Amino acid sequence: EEGGQFFAAETVDQAAELVAGLLADQPDGVTVSEVRRAMGATRKHTLPLLARLDATGVTRRRDDVRIGGPRLPHTR
């Protein structure tokens, strides 16, 4: 549960993989908007999901972007 929303473990894992793929192409960071578009989700759902990824170390928030954290899945 994050921000009053519950996410299935599979959803969090899929989001982690998606963000890892985006960061492979943009290692300096991705915006909430870029992640939202890639997920095909609303900002209402994207923000709490990114907060979950931040809390678990998959990503880290730096200013207005998310960068890879120590638990970011490896891609490619």
Using the predicted structure, report yes or no on whether residue 1 has a pLDDT greater than 60: no
> Is residue 1 in some structural domain?
no
Give residue-wise pLDDT tens across range 12-67.
999 999 999 999 999 999 999 999 999 999 999 999 999 999 999 999 999 999 99
By residue range, what is the domain housing residue 46? 9-68
Global pTM? 0.89
| CATH number of the structural domain spanning residue 47 | 1.10.10.10
In this prediction, residue 68 carries a pLDDT of 97
Task: Tell me how many domains the chain contains.
Answer: 1
Question: Does the residue 74 lie in any domain?
Answer: no
In a domain, 58, yes or no: yes
- For 35-51, give the DSSP string: HHHHHT--HHHHHHHHH
- pLDDT bracket for residue 7 (50, 70, 90): confident
Q: What pLDDT was estimated at residue 76?
A: 57
